[in-house]
Structure 1
Amino acid sequence: MHANRRQFVLGSLGTALLAATARSRASAYPERPITFICPWPAGGTADITMRALCLAAAKPLGQTLVVENKAGASGMLGLKAMATAKPDGYTIGQIPISVTRFAQLGTVQIDPLKDLSFIARTSGQTFGVAVRSDSPWQTLKEFVAAAKAAPGRLTYGSAGIGGATHVGMEEFALAAGIQLNHVPYKGGAPALQDLLGGQIDALADSSSWAPHVKSGKLRLLATWGEQRTHDFPEVPTLREQGFDVVVDAPNGIGAPKGLDAAVARRLREAFKAAAASPEFIAACDRIDAPPMYLDGPEYEKYVAAVYRKETQLIERLKLKELMAKG
C-alpha cells in the first residue's frame, strides 16, 4: 500500500475510533455524579426549587446531582463558574434570566446567546414587596406617600445590584415617581434576615417572605406577577395598584457551550421529567412559584427575546449609571 494511502486509512480509522469512543461515552453518560451549581445562597427560594428539581432529575439519570451553592454578584458568580466549566455534562447549573441584562451591562463576561447550552426553563418566581407588620404602612399607597414625603430615606433590600428584584423595584419607583434607598445583599435570604431584624424598611424578593407573611411577622404590600398569587389572593399586583410593572424572572437549567448532542438530549429528557415530578411541583407550591416549563430550544428562543427587551430597559432605567453609583 502506498505510504500516503496508508496514512490516510490509518488517520480515517483513528478519527472513526475517536468518534465511536465519544459516542459510546455519550451513551454511557452519566457515569458519575453531576455537579449542579446554584448561584444563590442555601435556603433561598431558588435553592429550594433547584434542590427538589435535582433530586427528581437524579432518578432518570441514575446518578446523584450534587448541589453546590456559589453565591455572589447577583447570581453571576455561580453562572460564570458553570459557563466556563468543561462541557462534558458533569457541571450544569441554574441560569438566572438576569444574565441577559448583566451581559449587556458588562458586569459578567458571558454572552448568554453564545456561551451556554440550554436544557430547560423550569419555573417562574413570585416576587413582592414586604414590610414588617409593625411598620406604619398598611398599603402600598401609604408606602409610596411616605417615600414621596422623604425622598431617598426609605430603604429596601434586594438580592443584589442589577438583579430582578433591584431592577423591578427601580421600575416600580420610576412608575410611582419616588426615590428609594437600595441596600444590595448577596441573595434574598440575608436581606430577609435584615428586614426581620429591623435594619431595612422593606424587602423586594421572591417569596422568601411567604412563611413570615403567613405567621404575621411581615406584611405583603404587592406582588409583581400578571395575576394575584395562589397563596396570597387578597394582595393586589403592582399593575392593579396603578403601576405597569410585571416581573416573573423564570429560572432555567443550562450547561457550558459545546455539550455533546447525545448528552444534551439525555439532560433535556431528565429535566423534562423532573419539572413534571410531584417533588418539584410541591417545592414550587411551597413558595408559590408558577411552573413555566420550556424545552431547551424554546427556552433558548425565550432568552433571546428577553435579551432584546433588556436592551430597552437598560436605557429607560439608566441602569449603567445606577450600577456605576453602586
Structure 2
Amino acid sequence: MRRRSFIVASGAVASAFAAPALVQAQGAKDFPNKPITLIMPWPAGSGVDLWHRAMADAAGKLLGQPVIVDNRTGGAGTTGPASMAATAKPDGYTIAQMPVTVFRLPHMQKTPYDPMKDFTWILHTSAYTFGVVVRADSPLKTFQDVIAFAKANPGKFTYATPGAGSSLHIGMEQIAHKAGVKFTHVPFKGGPEGWAALEGGHVMADADATGWAPLVDSGKFRLLCIWTQERSPRWPDVPTLKELGFNLTLDSPFGLAGPKGMDPAVVQKLHDAFKAALDDPKVAELMVKYDYPKRYMNTADYAKFAKQQYDEQREVVEQLGLAKKS
C-alpha cells in the first residue's frame, strides 16, 4: 500500500509540474486564435506608423488573425513599450515596435522597465534615414551655416525633434558637442508636430526621419545633411555628417518585441510571419518611400544586439553629461 501510495503521489506531483508546460504547448499550437495588438510608439500617419501598418497587414494574413496597430506615443517612443512591459500578458497577443530610446532612457532617468529583463526580443527589422531640414526661405543654406550661426549666437539656434531623449535629440547634441556649440532643443510628440512648427516659423530647423521628404521634394524645406553612412540616392547632393567632419553615423535601429516570458514557439511564429512580411510588395514599396533599409536579425541575434545597444547608449549619455544622478 505504501509503495502504491508513493507511486500515485509521485504521479500527481509530476502531473502538477507537467500541466503548465502542456498548457503552454497547447497555447503555442493554437496561436494565434484572436487578433494581435502591435503597439506603435509614434503618431498615426507618420512614415514609421504607415510602414508598420503595412507590415502588420501582411503578417496578419500569414498568421490568420489581424494585427491591429495601437498608437501609444510619448516618452520619446518609450511609453508604448513600457506600458506593454507593465501590463501585457506574455502570450504573444501584445507586441511593440522597439525604438533605440528604450535602451537609452534608463541611463538618463528612472524608467518603469529594465530593457535587459522586461522584454522578449522577436526580430530586428530596420533603421531610419535621419536628416536636418530648414524652411526653403531660411538664410541657413548649408549645415556649415548652422554651425557658424550657433557659434556666433550661443543657444539661439532652435531645432525640433520627436521628443526629449529621442535619437534625433541625442544626435543633435552629439553634433553640438563635437562642434563646440550650443543648440536649443524644442521637443514635440512626433514628426508632424515638428514639421508644422518649422513651417510656422516657431523653430529654425527640424531633425527627424524622412517624413519630411514630401516637403523637401516640393521645395518647401531644404535638406542640409543626412545622418546615414553614405549619401542617399534620393538626395545625392546632400552631404553626410562624416563628410561635414563629424565622425557619426546615426540611424536609430529598431525591431519588434513582446513582454518577458513569452513561449519560444509563439516567438518563432511571430518571427516567421514578420520576417516574411518584410518581403511583401507593399512593405518593400514603403521601405523605399520612407528610406528604411532592411536590417533583419533573428531572435537570438537581436537579443545580443539589444545588449550591445544598451551598453553603447550608456556611453553616449555619459559623454553628453545626461546620465541620471544616482
> Normalised by the size of structure 2, how large is the TM-score?
0.95
Letter in 1 for 2:8: R
Distance 1:33 1:5 in 2: 44
Q: Which residue of 2 aligns with 1:112?
A: 115
| 2:51 matched residue in structure 1 | 49
Matches of 2:20 and 2:121, distance apart in 1: 26
Q: Deviations over 1:20-47 (max 9, x none)?
A: 3321221110000001100111112221
- 1:82 aligned residue: 84
Give the aligned partner of residue 319 of structure 1: 322
Aligned equivalents of 1:305 and 1:74: distance in 2? 20
Aligned to 1:161: 164
Further displaced range: 112-121 or 162-171: 112-121
How far residue 14 of structure 1 moved from its aligned partner, in angstroms, is 4.4
Instruction: Name the structure 1 match of 2:242.
Output: 239
Once residues 316 and 18 of structure 2 are traced to their aligned partners in structure 1, the CA distance between those partners, rounded to angstroms, is: 50
How many residues align? The count is 322
Per-residue displacement from partner, 1:175-230 (whole Å, max 9, x unpaired)? 12211110011122211111112111100111111110000000000000111112
Which of 183, 186, 190 is the aligned partner of 1:183?
A: 186
Alignment partner of 1:304 is 2:304: no
The question of whether the paired residues in 1 share the 8 Å contact of 2:122 and 2:267 is answered with yes
Q: What does residue range 12-31 of structure 1 map to in structure 2 within 5 Å?
A: 12-31=14-33
- Indicate if the aligned counterparts of 1:175 and 1:244 stay in contact, CA closer than 8 A: no
1:95-114 Cα deviation digits (max 9, x unpaired): 11121111222342322121
Is 2:172 the partner of 1:172?
no
The amino acid across from 2:53 in the alignment is: R
Aligned positions of 1:283-302 closer than 5 A: 283-302=286-305
Q: Which residue of 2 aligns with 1:126?
A: 129
1:67 and 2:79 are equivalent in the alignment: no
- Identity rate, percent: 41
- Aligned partner of 2:283 in structure 1 is 280
1:60-113 CA-partner distances (Å, limit 9, x unpaired): 211100100000010111010122211000000101112111122234232212
1:17 Cα offset (Å): 4.4
Query: Is the contact made by 1:119 and 1:255 (CA closer than 8 Å) also made in structure 2?
Result: yes
Q: Which amino acid aligns with 2:136?
A: S
Matched-pair contact (CA < 8 Å) for 1:74–1:163: yes
Aligned CA distance change for structure 1 residues 148 and 17 (closer, same or farther; 3 Å): closer
Q: Could you tell me how far apart the structure 1 residues matched to 2:270 and 2:182 are?
A: 45
Residues 161, 184 of structure 1: 8 Å contact kept: yes
Q: Which ranges of structure 2 fall in alignment gaps of 5 or more residues? A: none
In structure 1, distance between residues paired with 2:45 and 2:312? 31
Amino acid at match of 1:110: Y
The SS at the match of 1:52 is helix
Question: Distance in 1 between the 2:101 and 2:126 partners?
Answer: 15
Aligned to 1:40: 42
The answer to whether residue 141 in structure 2 is matched with residue 143 in structure 1 is: no
Q: Secondary structure at the match of 1:320?
A: coil
Alpha-carbon distance in 1 for matches of 2:253, 2:323 = 23
1:191-210 matches, within 5 Å, as 191-210=194-213
SS of residue paired to 1:129: strand
Residues 120 and 253, structure 1, Cα contact 8 Å, conserved in 2: yes
Structure 1-normalised TM-score?
0.95
Output the CA distance in 1 between the equivalents of 2:104 and 2:160.
20
**Counterpart AA for 2:157:** L
2:106 aligns with: 103
Q: Structure 1, unaligned stretches of length 5 or more?
A: none
RMSD between superposed Cα atoms in Å: 1.6
Partners of 1:271 and 1:69 in 2: CA distance: 19
Q: Distance in 1 between matches of 2:214 and 2:202?
A: 19
Deviation at 1:261, TM superposition (A): 1.3
Q: Matches of 2:208 and 2:83 in 1, distance apart?
A: 24
Bigger Cα displacement from structure 2, 6-15 vs 130-139: 6-15
Offset of 1:7 from its aligned partner?
Answer: 2.8
Cα deviation 1:128-169 (Å, max 9, x = unaligned): 000000111111111211111111011100111111000000
Deviation at 1:18, TM superposition (A): 4.2
